[in-house]
Structure 1
Amino acid sequence: MTISREANRVIIFDTTLRDGEQSPGASMNLEEKLRIAATLEEMGVDVIEAGFPIASNGDFESVREIGRVVKNSTVAGLARAARMDIDRAAEALQYAERKRIHTFISTSPLHMKYKLQMEPSAVLQAVTDSVTHARNLVEDVEWSAEDGSRTEIDFLCRCVEAAIKAGATTINIPDTVGYAVPEEYGALFRTLIERVPNSDKAIFSVHCHNDLGLAVANSLSGVANGARQIECTINGLGERAGNAALEEIVMALRTRSDVMPYANGIRTEHITRASRLVSTVTGFAVQPNKAIVGANAFAHESGIHQDGMLKNAQTYEIMTPESVGLNRSTLVMGKHSGRAAFRAKLKELGYEDMGDNAINDAFRRFKDLADRKKDVFDEDIVALVDDEVGRQHDRVKFLALQVVAGSRGPQHAVLEIEVDGKALPPVVSFGNGPVDAVLNAIRSAFPHEARLQLYQVHAVTAGTDAQAEVTVRLEENGKTVNGQGADADTLVATARAYIHALNKLLVKRQKTAPAAMSA
């Protein structure tokens, strides 16, 4: 797509695959990143920041492969203000039809003194040198002032002017630590656009973190004061308290176009699907009361609210569930449903590019579920398909589990797994309760030193026969990963989730990241 420079056109820059992945435990493998990138492109995202190429071979490969397959969105790679970083980003982007190098350096007094240990004059020179080098390699260059919201305004103006003069086409002023409030953040953009002589030669961008819960408000304030690119993530994923949430920004612009007349190219009916995908891939469950995509976002329990909704939905809904791709559950699938009907349902739910092997595995699990569960909801199918897709290449795979539990004990688990394509003999382990027994069995079958940091369960649908979705977080040598599993049996879901996390940890062992990855 050609990114518009129309006065009221806002560019949506998604950094779920870069800044979002920096959230502890949110690591993704290549196949998962490609699935998310395809969804973002289908949604109409203008720029997909695919990774930080110099961080690891895995990040380099992700940026390269996303650049190879994405055709309509611009693909961006992050680089510090160093020739090696920039060269590595350019190499990773070599196959992208629309490519952008996003280079950054800290500009606040605090960061320059303690993080960079550089004088302002040296930082200013680095801005010119890095942008010039990047512009010699690609036409589309974005420059970011890390910790821009805490930077002295005179120095920031000089840096922005230098970056634009060196060839930057986008200027990003991040609120890196989520410190700003809307009025001052908006005023910052207004001042820069007014004071920097060549400000009309670049598009200004917002990038806000949510430490004070103000990321979306700050982003919209920046746009109201002249910024025309918003950097955000699906579900607000990101370091610490996260980034500005794409779904909240886009729906705020759409719902309140009367006071924020700024257009964008997002197809909002894809929002729910993207949210579910990112949640499943990362293992980060969306909180029920999360705006736009939370389970309760369109739920009404109060009698007064329900009465109003029955008379006119607009009494308590400012947007429709359908506008964000939320379809009400239907009970059209059951144990008598065939493969063709299942394929049609997958297409309806947005799973159009699944391979035959993945469909066959998902259909087998669907039939098993339908035999055990009276009513099969759309949410059930989404849970089991997301639990299956993208795991064909896992080194460790779940095969079977039998658990003995109860108050009389001893609680024990009999587990069967496959490692590197070879089925191992059944393992019997005891524990202080059934969950402990299951996890002990996994450790016995596949020894490792990872520690369990988080274990949580939630029901996919209502009812006592609901599927359980389990999320676990594992930590090993300072590296954390999340895993997720779904099954009508909570203990089977537990085993699937733990094994999922274990596979992600095996991948993450190969990744080493340099310091200073923020922007």
Structure 2
Amino acid sequence: MNPANQGSTESVESDVGGRVRIFDTTLRDGEQAPGFSMDRRAKLRMAHALEELGVDIIEAGFPQASPDDFAAVAEIARSLKTPTVAALARCQPGDIDSAGRALQGAHHSRIHLFLSTSPLHREHKLGKSKQQVIDIAAEAIHRAKALAHEVEFSAEDALRTEPDYLAEIFSVAVEAGASVLNAPDTVGYVTPDEITRMFTYLCTHVRNADKVVFSAHCHDDLGLAVANSLAAVAAGARQVECTINGIGERAGNAAMEEIVMALHTRRPLFKVDTGIVTRHFYPTSRLLAEVTGQAVPRNKAIVGDNAFAHESGIHQHGMIKHRGTYEIMRPQDVGAKTSLVLGKHSGRHALRQRLEELDYDIDETTLDAVFDRFKALADRQRSVTNDDLTALMSAYEFDTQAAPVAVQS
């Protein structure tokens, strides 16, 4: 239980510029959400998918929570070759030792310690003074350093903590050996402007800030998790904690696919990048839906069925002319496809294109007649499929061939 580079303060380099590490907590924070629990086999499948996705750090679970969680963390730690495997622990000896044992087989390990720091939590949850909380954190970090390659310290409810006190406990954490400092918006309370001010303050007031990586972990209670994560990156955070499909406690965590694609799509603005293989987003999202039994909402950004689907006739016409009119990223970049959905809002251009894709030779007269039938059908059902169009065209061709016969008779 003494890793080769244990004690090194250089195992996580502080980024001055453009690399943001992606810390996935789908298997820990995400799985804690009601309806999203996973057994050990499902966790292992997801862990391998996250490794293929290019995630930097995978939080595999909370070993002290249950024997099954311990076994899942241990199996994931032994199985993965590329990412750092993290285990969550309270600042308690039993938790820390359990995390260390579970991570023994990891290629690269991290113990993720957390301790409440806000006035509300100090008084009502911990019943501790400011100095007592600092002392507990320092002792826990010293203990964890002997059991893993890296230690991350999270100040629970950091964004409702006094800035000067948060900077002080983070400074002590660095002195004790933490290489990653996480300032979570535990209850999803702050706004992008507020989180920007907090991270800017921390980057300038934490002692030896240049030796650590600052991390953001945002919840979506007010629907601001992704926006707050991006604001933190702009203010100096170089690790973002997030989940696939945004699953997590209460309203969820920041969605990894949204954060990464925002950084990718707006690279000139943020001037940072990640190591994520983005074309794996869609299949990874669907794997999570499969193992949890929870479908991805159709309107989910990046990976929902409607993310690259267009039904409006005006939009479809624009898409046929130039994809950039209504899509700001290429669907294939996330493993998806553009879909021009035929429905009651669709126009003639989309209908013509789809019929030509089905090998029908369409002139204007035919299109006029078929379009009227198409609109009548679209008013009766939500969408019109290729099979519906084939049947519609067969009926039209039958009617046009039968008409001259009827006149002659």
Mark yes or no: TM-score above 0.5: yes
* Aligned partner letter, 1:285: A
Q: 2:255 aligns with which of 239, 245, 249?
A: 245
Alpha-carbon distance in structure 2 between the residues aligned to 1:284 and 1:113: 38
Aligned-residue offset at 1:119:
1.5
Alignment-mate amino acid for residue 77 of structure 1: A
Q: Which residue of 2 aligns with 1:404?
A: none
The DSSP-based 3-state class of the residue aligned with 1:141 is strand
Q: 1:139, CA displacement in angstroms?
A: 2.7
Higher relative helix content: 2
Measured after TM superposition, the shift of residue 5 of structure 1 is: 4.3
Distance in 1 of aligned mates of 2:384 and 2:134: 58
Distance 2:20 2:73 in 1: 24
Question: Is 2:304 the counterpart of 1:279?
Answer: no
Q: Decide whether the 8 Å contact of 1:3 with 1:46 is kept in 2.
A: no
Instruction: Supply the AA of the counterpart residue of 2:297.
Output: Q
Q: 2:149 aligns with which of 139, 160, 168?
A: 139
Whole-angstrom distance in 2 between the partners of 1:102 and 1:239? 18
Structure 1 Cα separation of the partners of residues 287 and 258 of structure 2:
17
Q: Aligned ranges for residues 163-312 of structure 1 at < 5 Å?
A: 163-312=173-322
Matching residue's letter, 1:140: E
Give the whole-Å Cα distance in 1 for the aligned partners of 2:205 and 2:132.
22
Q: Report the AA paired with residue 211 of structure 2.
A: K
Q: 1:120 aligns with which of 123, 126, 130?
A: 130
Superposed CA offset, 1:266-321 (max 9, x none): 00000000100111111221111110011110111111111100000000000111
Pick closer, same or farther for the CA change 1:248–1:462 going to 2, 3 Å: farther
Closer/same/farther in 2, CA of residues 31 and 240 from structure 1, 3 Å limit:
same
Looking at structure 2, the residues matched to 233 and 138 of structure 1 have their Cα atoms a distance apart, in angstroms, of 23
3-state DSSP of counterpart to 1:193: helix
1:146-198 deviation digits (Å, cap 9, x = unpaired): 00000011111111001000000000000000001001101101101111121
In 1, Cα distance between the equivalents of 2:171 and 2:187? 24
Q: 1:17-66 deviations in whole A, cap 9, x for unaligned? A: 00000001211011100100000000100000000000000110010000
How far residue 235 of structure 1 moved from its aligned partner, in angstroms, is 0.1
Q: 1:33 aligned to 2:73?
A: no
Match runs of 1:108-507 below 5 Å: 108-327=118-337
Aligned length: 333
**Aligned counterpart, 1:74:** 84
Alpha-carbon distance between aligned partners in 2 of 1:52 and 1:93, rounded to the nearest angstrom:
11
Q: Matches of 2:14 and 2:201 in 1, distance apart?
A: 20
Residue aligned with 2:273, SS: coil
Superposed CA deviations along residues 55-109 of structure 1, whole A, max 9, x for unmatched, are 0001100100000100000000000000110000000000000100000100001
The one-letter code matched in structure 2 to 1:210 is D
Q: Give the partner amino acid of 2:210.
A: D
Deviation of 1:116 after TM superposition, in Å, equals: 1.2
Identity %: 56
Quote the residue 1:92 is aligned against.
102
Aligned-partner Cα distance in 1 for 2:151–2:384? 49
- 2:100–2:147: 8 Å Cα contact kept in structure 1? yes
Q: Distance in 1 between matches of 2:147 and 2:111?
A: 9
8 A contact 2:115–2:156 mirrored in 1: yes
Question: What is the alpha-carbon distance in structure 2 between the residues aligned to residue 256 and residue 131 of structure 1?
Answer: 37
Query: Residue 52 of structure 1 contacts residue 89 of structure 1 at CA under 8 Å; is this kept in 2?
Result: yes
Q: Verify: 1:59 aligned to 2:69, yes or no.
A: yes
Distance 1:4 1:213 in 2: 32
TM-score scaled by structure 2?
0.79
- Match for 2:198: what amino acid? L
Q: Does residue 49 of structure 2 align to residue 42 of structure 1?
A: no
Give 3-state SS (helix, strand or coil) of 2:241's partner.
strand
Structure 1: runs of 5+ lacking an equivalent: 330-460, 466-519
The question of 1:14 aligning with 2:24 is answered: yes
**In 2, Cα distance between equivalents of 1:158 and 1:23:** 32
Distance of aligned partners of 1:239 and 1:85 in 2 relative to their CA distance in 1, 3 Å threshold: same
Instruction: With the length of structure 1 as denominator, give the TM-score of the two structures.
Output: 0.63
SS in 2 for 1:258: helix
Partners of 2:79 and 2:272 in 1: CA distance: 29
